[in-house]
């Protein structure tokens, strides 16, 4: 792709096109601020000129005769210049910072939106930490550069052009001396920065490892405590933190030497101007005012160059970050969204899988030549050993993955053609691993049905047998349940997930081991409510406890991605196959528990 090879900053400029006017304004303010900032040495020169030359001064040439009047003019000029300098400083700071904020906001939102549209396997191949670092660190890096770096580069350039130009006009034979250190400073900065870059990279790497470990530990704190691994973890953090410290020390050792070294180079330029300019001034070939201005200006010219290393560093880092952000934005979205609208009200709910074959990325087929038909409004059940591919079927129905061959239809339409949003709106999934968001109980139930009324939320909770325990929580429906819902029990989380599905009220309901984490009593209660809510809608129930699905219209027994048996509960028992064997084991298990109890 040509866009990949394009310089990242050009890409950024293209991206920031809508801010073009702002960028020009900010740049102009940076340049103007610098010009006014460079004026004071000229004022000093003029002051010396006035005092020494009196009636023959530069200003006198403009018609201001008396020394007093000349000094008044000079004072007014100073006020004007300093005022303008301050004004433009305020303007450029505001403009650049707001630009940085605006561009970072746009980029972050675009990157997030793009990321959210990527298919599931994309996320399985990457670490959350890595993606987070693009969305956070890399975008912040850009902000930092726009905040200060862009202005810095503009101002240094302005300084060199203005002062360099002034030198060559004022005293061409001294100018080259003042300019002499510049190539060395530039070369030194770039060489330095090249040395420093790998050390900074090492610092970022080690802080990355440290952060990854810290995040891991904080999420696994229960495991750490229950296995009394605190000491072990402290040692691990100690080691990683030490690595971070050492890599920083290596970077500091080098970066701290930069300014002192550059200062020596500057000293050469400064003393040369001082010495040779002084000789010229004493000989009368250089005006005293010009001489004093030049001595000041050499300082002003060379000092900002010491910051060049830092600025280049900032530039390089943000360049790398920009590349990473755009790499993300350039990733193609392989899931095509479909184009046939199928509004929820019109969905009847007939589902067909015809000779479907699918396997995850580089693994062999998980589902092969799989066919299944669910008539609209029916309840079917899928049972089978763990790992036999039951949840995979669900993910295929939701089009979280694309099938390799075969066809899946909803109401006779290929699901690849249905608008993805409409397809997913038609299905509510209660899965075995419930995910709750940090927020209140009510917010979590309302997730996906954001406009639902409070009464409806309560009604849905009641159907899911969740209302009673919610009422006993400290703040009822407004209780905050913590990250991933960790302040609730597994069964409570599952009931909230069911309430969420009930509230969505979809034509198709999929329960993937939805009651696996609740006790028998609650399960019986949920089962009653499920019997109610599965009426008049297509339901696919996946369960390992066969007692919960025995009333299904048809039961499919899966084995290694294929359907091994199918039929009603009674038919399957008569077959004396896998199902009958499973049933005997589970009934026997239950029996013995009851005996012991
Ligand atoms: P189950 O019947 O227990 O729900 P699954 O459909 O979850 O089984 O898994 C079927 C097989 O696919 C298993 O062998 C599992 O290891 C594999 N599998 C599941 N999810 C993924 C994934 N995201 N990437 C690779 N393999 C997977
Ligand atoms: Mg499963």
Domains of the chain: 8-329 (1.20.1560.10), 340-426+507-597 (3.40.50.300), 432-505 (3.40.50.300)
pLDDT tens digits, one per residue of 262-290? 888 888 878 888 888 888 888 888 888 77
Atom of ligand 1 nearest to the CA of 386: 3
Residue 106, SS3?
helix
How many angstroms separate the alpha carbon of residue 128 from the centre of ligand 2?
Answer: 23
Residue nearest to atom 27 of ligand 1 (CA): 360
Q: 360 in ligand 1 pocket by Cβ < 6 Å? A: yes
User: Two tokens at 168?
Assistant: 């060559």
Residue nearest to atom 21 of ligand 1 (CA): 360
538-542/508-512 β-pairing? parallel
How many angstroms separate the alpha carbon of residue 514 from the centre of ligand 1?
Answer: 17
pTM tops 0.85, yes or no: no
Model confidence at 123: pLDDT above 90: no
Residue nearest to atom 26 of ligand 1 (CA): 360
pLDDT tens digits, one per residue of 424-449? 999 999 888 888 888 999 999 999 88
Model confidence at 591: pLDDT above 90: no
Model confidence at 1: pLDDT above 60: no
Pocket test for ligand 1, best of 366, 367, 557 (most atoms within 8 A of CB): 366
Residue nearest to atom 17 of ligand 1 (CA): 387
pLDDT tens digits, one per residue of 143-173? 888 888 889 989 988 988 888 888 888 777 7
Question: How far apart, in whole angstroms, are the C-alpha atoms of residue 114 and residue 333?
Answer: 8
Model confidence at 467: pLDDT above 50: yes
Torsion angle, alpha carbons of 199, 201, 203, 209, to 10:
-140
DSSP 508: E
CB neighbours of residue 230 within 10 Å: 12
How many angstroms separate the alpha carbon of residue 367 from the centre of ligand 1?
Answer: 10
Atom of ligand 1 nearest to the CA of 124: 23
CB neighbours of residue 260 within 10 Å: 9
- Scanning 464-568, the segments in alpha helix (DSSP H) are 467-472, 490-504, 520-533
Binning pLDDT at 50, 70 and 90, where does residue 353 land? very high
How many angstroms separate the alpha carbon of residue 117 from the centre of ligand 1?
Answer: 22
In this prediction, residue 15 carries a pLDDT of: 87
Model confidence at 590: pLDDT above 60: no
Q: 392 in ligand 1 pocket by Cβ < 6 Å? A: yes
Beta bridge partners of 309: none
In this prediction, residue 593 carries a pLDDT of: 40
In this prediction, residue 230 carries a pLDDT of: 93
CB 141 within 8 A of CB 319: no
Residue nearest to atom 20 of ligand 1 (CA): 392
- Scanning 401-552, the segments in alpha helix (DSSP H) are 420-425, 441-445, 454-463, 467-472, 490-504, 520-533
Q: 363 in ligand 1 pocket by Cβ < 6 Å? A: yes
pLDDT tens digits, one per residue of 46-60? 888 888 877 777 777
In this prediction, residue 5 carries a pLDDT of: 54
In this prediction, residue 16 carries a pLDDT of: 86
Q: What is the mean pLDDT of residues 309-327?
A: 82
Higher pLDDT, 356 or 530: 356
Q: What is the mean pLDDT of residues 381-388?
A: 90
In this prediction, residue 240 carries a pLDDT of: 93
**What's the sign of the alpha-carbon dihedral 475, 477, 481, 486?**
positive
Binning pLDDT at 50, 70 and 90, where does residue 64 land? confident
How many angstroms separate the alpha carbon of residue 528 from the centre of ligand 2?
Answer: 23
Q: What is the mean pLDDT of residues 79-105?
A: 93
Question: How far apart, in whole angstroms, are the C-alpha atoms of residue 192 and residue 257?
Answer: 10
* Ion ligand 2 contact residues with beta carbon within 5 A: 391
How many angstroms separate the alpha carbon of residue 415 from the centre of ligand 1?
Answer: 22
3-state helix, strand, coil split of the chain in percent (to 5) is 70, 10, 20
Binning pLDDT at 50, 70 and 90, where does residue 589 land? low
Model confidence at 132: pLDDT above 50: yes
Model confidence at 86: pLDDT above 90: yes
Model confidence at 239: pLDDT above 90: yes
Return mean pLDDT, the chain.
86
**Stated length of the chain:** 597
Q: What is the mean pLDDT of residues 201-214?
A: 83
Question: How far apart, in whole angstroms, are the C-alpha atoms of residue 299 and residue 302?
Answer: 5
In this prediction, residue 203 carries a pLDDT of: 84
User: Two tokens at 157?
Assistant: 């350039």
Q: 124 in ligand 1 pocket by Cβ < 6 Å? A: yes
Q: What is the mean pLDDT of residues 412-423?
A: 93
**Cβ-proximal residues to 483 (8 Å cutoff; 6+ apart), any chain:** 438
């Amino acid at each position: 792709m040509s866009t990949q090879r394009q310089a990242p900053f050009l890409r950024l400029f293209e991206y920031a096109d809508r801010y073009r006017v702002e960028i020009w304004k900010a740049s102009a303010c940076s340049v103007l601020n610098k010009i006014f900032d460079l004026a004071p040495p000229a004022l000093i020169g003029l002051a010396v000129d006035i005092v020494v030359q009196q009636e023959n001064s530069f200003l006198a040439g403009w018609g201001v005769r008396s020394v007093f009047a000349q000094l008044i003019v000079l004072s007014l000029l100073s006020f004007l210049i300093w005022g303008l300098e301050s004004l433009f400083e305020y303007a450029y700071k505001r403009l650049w910072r707001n630009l940085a904020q605006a561009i970072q906001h746009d980029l972050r939102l675009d990157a997030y939106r793009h990321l959210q549209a990527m298919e599931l396997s994309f996320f399985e191949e990457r670490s959350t930490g890595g993606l987070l670092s693009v969305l956070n660190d890399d975008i912040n890096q850009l902000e930092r550069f726009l905040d200060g770096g862009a202005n810095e580069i503009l101002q240094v350039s302005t300084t060199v052009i203005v002062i360099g130009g002034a030198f060559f006009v004022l005293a061409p034979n001294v100018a080259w001396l003042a300019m002499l250190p510049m190539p060395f400073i530039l070369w030194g900065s770039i060489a330095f920065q090249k040395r420093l870059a790998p050390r900074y990279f090492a610092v970022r790497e080690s802080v990355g490892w440290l952060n990854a470990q810290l995040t891991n530990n904080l999420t696994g704190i229960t495991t750490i405590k229950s296995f009394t691994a605190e000491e072990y973890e402290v040692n691990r953090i100690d080691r990683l933190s030490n690595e971070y410290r050492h890599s920083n020390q290596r970077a500091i050792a080098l970066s701290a030497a930069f300014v002192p070294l550059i200062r020596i180079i500057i000293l050469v330029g400064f003393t040369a101007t001082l010495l040779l300019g002084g000789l010229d001034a004493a000989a009368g070939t250089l005006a005293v005012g010009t001489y004093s201005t030049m001595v000041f200006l050499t300082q002003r010219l060379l000092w900002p160059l010491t910051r060049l290393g830092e600025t280049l560093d900032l530039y390089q880092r943000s360049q790398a970050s920009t590349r990473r952000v755009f790499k993300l934005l350039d990733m193609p979205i392989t899931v095509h969204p479909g184009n046939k609208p199928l509004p929820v009200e019109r969905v009847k709910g007939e589902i067909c899988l015809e000779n479907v074959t699918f396997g995850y990325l580089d693994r062999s087929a998980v589902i092969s030549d799989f066919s299944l038909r669910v008539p609209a409004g029916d309840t079917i059940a899928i049972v089978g050993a763990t790992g036999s591919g039951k949840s995979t079927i669900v993910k295929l129905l939701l089009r979280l993955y694309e099938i390799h061959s075969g066809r899946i239809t909803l109401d006779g339409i290929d699901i690849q053609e249905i608008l993805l949003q409409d397809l997913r709106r038609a299905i509510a999934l209660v899965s075995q691993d419930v995910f709750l968001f940090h927020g209140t109980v009510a917010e979590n139930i309302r997730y996906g049905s954001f406009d639902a009324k409070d009464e409806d939320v309560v009604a849905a909770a009641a159907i899911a047998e969740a209302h009673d325990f919610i009422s006993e929580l400290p703040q009822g429906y407004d209780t905050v349940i913590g990250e991933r819902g960790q302040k609730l029990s597994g069964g409570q989380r599952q009931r909230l997930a069911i309430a969420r599905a009930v509230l969505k009220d979809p034509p198709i309901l999929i329960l993937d081991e939805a009651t696996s984490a609740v006790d028998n009593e609650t399960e019986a209660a949920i089962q009653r409510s499920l019997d109610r809510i599965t009426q008049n809608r297509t339901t696919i129930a996946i369960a390992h406890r066969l007692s919960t699905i025995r009333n299904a219209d048809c039961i499919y027994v899966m084995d290694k991605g294929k359907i091994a048996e199918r039929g009603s509960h009674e038919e399957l028992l008569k077959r004396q196959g896998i199902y009958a064997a499973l049933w005997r084991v589970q009934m026997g298990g239950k029996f013995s528990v009851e005996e012991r109890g």
